[in-house]
Each structure stands twice: as C-alpha cells, then as structure tokens.
Amino acid sequence: LPGVGPKSAQRLAFYLLQRDREGGKQLINVLQQAYEHIRHCDLCRNFTENTLCTICASPKRDPSILCVVENPTDVIAIEQTAHFHGHYYVLFGHLSPLDGIGPADIGLDILEARIAKQQYSEIILATNPTVQGDTTAHFIAEMAKPFQIKITRIARGIPMGGELEYVDGSTLARALSGRTELV
C-alpha cells in the first residue's frame, strides 16, 4: 500500500493478530462494506455510496463553476478551506504518456462531453503543480477552448508563513510571474 513499506506492513499485521483481533475483524467488515457499497459519483467521479455524491447532490453548490482535481484527497483539502462552492471533477490521476496513461484513462472524454453539455462560467484547473499536473491542465484548457469558457489555473508560490530565502528558485519564479495587484 502507498506509504507503507514491508516492515511497517509486517508490524501492522502482527499487531492486529496478536494484540487487537477485534480491531482486525472490524477492519475486515469496514473494508467489505466499502467494497460493496462505494462507487463513483455519476457526475464528478468521486467516491460515494449513492448515484450522486453529497456535493453534486447539494442545492447549495454552484453548478456553473467546475474545479478539476487529480484525487479525492484534493477535494477534501479544498473543501476544508471552505472557499469553494462549485462542483468538482476528479481525474483519479494525471496524463502520463510514458506510463501509458492517456486522456480516456483519466476520464477526459467524459469531461469534454460534460463541458459541451453544461453551461459552465468557469473551469478551475487544480491539478498538482508538477510536470504531469501542468501537462494535464494544459490539455484540458486546449480541450475546453472551443467552448469559450473562462479557464483558470490555481496559483502557486510561497507558502503562508514562508520566507523567500528558503523557497526554491522555480517556485519563486512562478510566484513572481503569478503576482497579483494589491490595490
């Protein structure tokens, strides 16, 4: 599993077998429940137990703004900021031609069909600030161009409380080029 090496895995397995057999049984049940009931949301592809996830089903959200992210954990992170009230689209990855991951593998064909159908006022590309994330964002921007929608990319730069001298050169360069007017 990601983030768990063989030694940690061994430790977890032995712990459940020796010290917490009840906990182990609970884990089995929870996993079984998850595999049986959790599916992808029909609109945003995020995990849900229903046809639509709570965000897509909520009348309080603005369906005209779409935020495209790589992973469900990105949705959680953005939701925690409480600064976004639109809808999401979860790619479950990014374009990576070297690994054989093309547009259809991350649901871009479905996204294109959705963009054509839905009257979006803005699409926010919130893929990771990595080479693959940038490539994916560019691809989506090109794909959405004919529909004449405002396409934005999340800003990148200096972390809050950070000091300039400790920020790497490319981040600093991006922060400079993405500067905004104060007054």
Q: How many residues bind Zn ion (CB under 5 A)?
A: 5
Q: Could you tell me if 52 and 31 are in contact, meaning their C-beta atoms sit under 8 angstroms apart? A: no
If the CB atoms of residues 41 and 108 are measured against Zn ion, the closer one turns out to be 41
Binding of Zn ion at residue 90 (CB under 5 A)?
no
Q: To the nearest whole angstrom, how small is the minimum distance from the Cβ of residue 127 to Zn ion? A: 18
If the CB atoms of residues 53 and 125 are measured against Zn ion, the closer one turns out to be 53
Alpha carbon separation from 87 to 45, 66, 79, 82, 169 (Å, rounded): 11, 5, 11, 13, 34
If the CB atoms of residues 41 and 66 are measured against Zn ion, the closer one turns out to be 41
If the CB atoms of residues 66 and 140 are measured against Zn ion, the closer one turns out to be 66
123-144 burial, b for 16+ CB within 10 Å, e for fewer? bbbbbbbeebbbebbebbeebb
Q: To the nearest whole angstrom, how small is the minimum distance from the Cβ of residue 160 to Zn ion? A: 29
If the CB atoms of residues 107 and 132 are measured against Zn ion, the closer one turns out to be 107
x/- mask, Zn ion, residues 14-53, rule CB under 5 A, reads ---------------------------x-xx--------x
Q: To the nearest whole angstrom, how small is the minimum distance from the Cβ of residue 44 to Zn ion? A: 3
Q: Could you tell me if 63 and 118 are in contact, meaning their C-beta atoms sit under 8 angstroms apart? A: yes
Q: Under the rule (CB under 5 A), what is the footprint of Zn ion?
A: 41, 43-44, 53, 56
